[in-house]
Amino acid sequence: MTAKETHNLVRVIWATRDERKIINSECEKAIVNLIQQQLSIKSCQLHFIYNEEHYVDIIINLHVSTDLSSVMQVVKGSISYHINRNNLTEMKFIWKKGFHSEPKTLECLEKAIDTAGIKRKTTYREETNAIKKRIRRLAMLAKYA
């Protein structure tokens, strides 16, 4: 099976520490560039990115031989290092520990891209609670299947 035939789509969401609204336009440019760069190095493909002033939401095609935790450690580390080194924020830029992830299908990717422009502004907590609710529902369905 070739890399193009393998779709291991994952949605990943992570936030700034204490959900501080410190992602400005300069930070946003750096975040997008560094995510693309680091994912490319790890043989992963970025399909979708959306961010607010306090969180980032991406959908990636995770390479089958790549561990999501190691990818996210490098991505988050390189972003915070770059932002702090170049003084892109008034205060020290720190991510909240960890991240939330869920598998996605190609249809979900298409829907995410279609709705990105009209997405209502949500908090990181609302996004993660929605993910947890969907995971519980899927687990329940799998239990009765």
Tracing tokens 């779709």 back to the chain, one arrives at: 7
Q: What does the DSSP 8-state code read for residue 64?
A: T
Is there a domain that residue 4 lies in? Answer: no
Its domain, for residue 51, covers 9-144
CATH number, domain at 124? 3.30.70.1290
pTM of the model: 0.72
Whether residue 80 lies inside any domain: the answer is: yes
Tens digit of pLDDT at every position of the chain (145 positions): 444 445 688 989 999 999 999 999 999 999 999 999 999 999 999 988 888 899 999 989 988 888 999 999 999 999 999 999 999 999 999 999 999 998 887 777 667 666 554 455 566 677 777 777 777 777 676 666 5
Q: What is the pLDDT of residue 3?
A: 44
Residue 3 counted as domain residue: no
How far is the C-alpha of 43 from the C-alpha of 67, rounded, in Å?
Answer: 11
The confidence score (pLDDT) of residue 120 equals: 52
Residue 1 lies in a domain: no
Number of domains in the chain: 1
Inside any domain, residue 122: yes
**Residue appearing with tokens 């907590």:** 125
| Cα–Cα dist 139/107, whole Å | 20
